[in-house]
Amino acid sequence: MPGHFEPLPGGGAAVALDDVEISIIRSLAVQLLELVGPGPGEDAPDDPLAELFAEGPSEPPADPVLRRLFPDAYTDPDGPPARPQDAEEQRAYSAEFRRYTENDLRAGKRENALAVVRSLDALTPAADGGAVLTLSGEESRQWLSSLNDLRLAIGSRLEITDEDDTDLLYRLPDEDPRKPMVMAYLWLGGLQETLVSTLMS
């Protein structure tokens, strides 16, 4: 179990984490919460129906990490360049889609990251340090989504765009200032992979 998720009888997953690993995941999840933001709740009207139909932003976020977490719905960065009139139409469709979906997407990412923080805060430390994290099926899915968001965020900061970039990261010298972030990215990828396998078993 150390370092990777294993299935639990009846569903869910478990993983043994040491104190440093717990601290790293919790810190990253809190940073993700800060990045995604508190949501519209602070300024929302008292009418819950009005809050339900509140419109979100129509423009992509300025921060490249948030652009990765909330990409445009109608553009294909790997596809051929669109004709000017098609590009304008894509931007209009993307703006409309973002206006009506981004608030919900942000709320989902916040809830998943909060689930990570809460489950870590609820751990009972083992006598020799660390703890065994046990997750229900629903908690496992929230963790999986949040691990994916964390890797997207770190990958964006590291400017990873394809598998070749990941291969280069393995060869970074230890003195490279990106090395700790790279190690976190690769480690989270391992956790994510074992959690996927657990949920599919």
Q: How many domains does the chain have?
A: 1
Confidence of residue 79 (pLDDT cuts 50, 70, 90): low
* Polymer length of the chain: 201
Provide the domain limits for residue 68: 6-200
CB 156 within 8 A of CB 65: yes
Residue 28 in any domain: the answer is yes
Distance set, CA 151 to CA 28, 148, 160, 189 (Å): 10, 5, 10, 7
Instruction: Please give the model's pTM, rounded to 2 decimal places.
Output: 0.80
> What is the C-alpha separation between 137 and 150, in angstroms, rounded?
20
**How big is the CA angle at 52 (ends 48 and 55), to the nearest 5 degrees?**
130
| 191 in any annotated domain | yes
Whether 94 contacts 75, CB under 8 Å: yes
User: Has residue 1 been placed in a domain?
Assistant: no
Instruction: Say if 58 falls within a structural domain.
Output: yes
> Mind listing the pLDDT tens digit for each residue in 103-135?
888 899 999 999 999 999 999 888 888 899 999
Choose between 129 and 189: higher pLDDT. 189
| pLDDT of amino acid 85 | 59
* pLDDT > 70 fraction of the chain, expressed in percent and rounded: 76
